[in-house]
C-alpha cells in the first residue's frame, strides 16, 4: 500500500550538515520533502571521532534519539554519554556539542522545531573553547528523564504511553514527544490536532490507518507524516507495535 504520507530513509538522499564533521544527514520530514512548517526530522549517521561542533540554534528546539552507537554529549555545565535508546534535548539558544566514541557509527534521529533547513541564520557557532556562551544557561539545562510514568494520551486505546520531551519533563515550548507501545488491538480513534504537525516513527511492528481518508501502512523503520489539522486514525497490525509520536505546535507561553 503506497501512501504520500509514509516516508522511507532509503528514498532520501544524504547531505553533509554545517557545523558537523563526519556526518551524513537525511532529511526525512521537512519543508523540502513534505512541506512541513512546524518541524523537521532527520536521520543522521556519524563516524567515530566526529559529530557536532559547539553551536546553538537561537530560535529552535532540538531533540535527539540514538538508534545505534555511543557518543559524548555536552551542554553547559554537563557531559553525558549517550547510548542507543537515550534521548537528549537542547533548548533554544543553548550551546551543545556531540562526538561519537563508539567504534561503530552513531545513527540518530534529530528533531528540530521549528524547521532548521540548514539556514545559516538559524545557527550560531562558538568562537573557541573559551567562548563564555558555552556555559550560558547551565542552571536551566534539564536532562531527559530515563523513565517516566505512563499517561493517558487522548484518543489512544490499548496503548502504553510515556512522555519524553514535554513541558513537564524538560520545559519544551515547541515539542511534545512520546514513546508509545500499542497492544495487538491498540490504536487511536479518528482525531484532529489543530495547529499541530505530527510524525510517527515505527520502531517495531506494523501500523495501519487513515489520514484524511487516505489509507496508509508503515513498517519498522518507516515514518508517517500527519499534516497540520489532518484527521488521523491508526491501529496496530499483526501484533504489537512500538512508536515514537512527535508533535510540534506553536510555542507555549
User: Hey, what domains does the chain have and what are their CATH numbers?
Assistant: 6-140 (2.60.120.10), 156-249 (2.60.120.10)
Q: Which helix (H) or strand (E) holds 33?
A: helix 31-34
Greatest pairwise CA separation for the chain in angstroms: 55
246: left (phi over 0), alpha (psi -120 to 50) or beta: beta
Give the integer Cα–Cα distance in Å for 102 and 216. 37
Q: Is the pLDDT of residue 150 over 80?
A: yes
User: For 74-84, what is each residue's pLDDT tens digit?
Assistant: 999 999 999 99
User: For 190-247, what is each residue's pLDDT tens digit?
Assistant: 999 999 999 999 999 999 999 999 999 999 999 999 999 999 999 999 899 999 999 9
What phi and psi values does residue 52 have, to the nearest 5 degrees? Answer: -95, 125
19, 54, 136 from 177: Cα distances, Å? 25, 25, 26
CB 89 within 8 Å of CB 110: no
* pLDDT for residue 144: 96
Label the pairing between strands 6-7 and 61-68. unpaired
* pLDDT for residue 157: 98
Query: Closest Cα partner for 176 from 151, 207, 212, 202?
Result: 151
Kindly state the average pLDDT of the residues 41-48: 99
Give the integer Cα–Cα distance in Å for 235 and 253. 34
Full-model pTM = 0.96
11, 56, 115, 172, 240 from 31: Cα distances, Å? 16, 21, 7, 22, 32
CB 114 within 8 Å of CB 87: no
Report the sign of the C-alpha dihedral through residues 41, 235, 210, 190, in that order. Answer: negative
Amino acid at each position: 500500500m503506497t501512501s504520500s504520507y509514509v516516508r522511507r530513509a532509503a528514498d532520501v538522499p544524504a547531505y553533509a550538515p554545517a557545523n558537523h564533521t563526519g556526518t551524513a544527514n537525511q532529511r526525512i520530514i521537512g519543508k523540502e520533502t513534505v512541506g512541513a512548517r512546524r518541524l523537521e526530522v532527520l536521520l543522521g549517521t556519524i563516524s567515530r571521532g566526529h559529530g557536532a561542533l559547539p553551536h546553538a540554534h537561537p530560535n529552535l528546539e532540538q531533540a535527539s534519539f540514538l538508534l545505534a552507537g555511543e557518543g559524548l554529549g555536552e551542554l553547559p555545565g554537563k557531559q553525558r554519554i549517550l547510548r542507543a535508546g537515550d534521548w537528549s534535548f537542547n533548548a533554544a539558544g543553548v550551546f551543545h556539542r556531540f562526538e561519537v566514541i563508539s567504534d561503530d557509527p552513531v545513527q540518530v534521529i534529530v528533531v528540530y522545531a521549528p524547521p532548521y533547513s540548514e539556514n545559516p541564520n538559524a545557527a550560531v557557532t562558538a568562537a573557541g573553547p573559551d567562548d563564555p556562551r558555552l556555559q550560558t544557561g547551565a542552571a536551566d539545562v534539564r536532562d531527559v528523564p530515563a523513565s517516566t510514568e505512563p499517561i493517558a494520551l487522548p484518543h489512544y486505546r490499548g496503548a502504553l504511553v510515556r512522555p519524553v520531551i514535554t513541558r513537564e519533563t524538560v520545559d519544551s515550548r515547541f515539542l511534545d514527544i512520546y514513546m508509545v507501545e500499542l497492544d495487538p488491538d491498540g490504536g487511536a480513534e479518528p482525531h484532529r490536532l489543530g495547529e499541530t504537525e505530527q510524525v510517527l516513527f515505527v520502531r517495531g511492528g506494523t501500523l495501519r490507518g487513515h489520514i484524511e481518508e487516505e489509507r496508509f501502512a508503515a513498517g519498522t523503520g518507516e515514518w508517517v507524516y500527519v499534516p497540520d489539522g489532518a484527521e488521523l486514525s491508526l491501529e496496530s497490525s499483526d501484533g504489537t507495535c512500538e512508536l515514537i509520536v512527535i508533535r510540534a505546535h506553536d510555542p507555549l507561553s
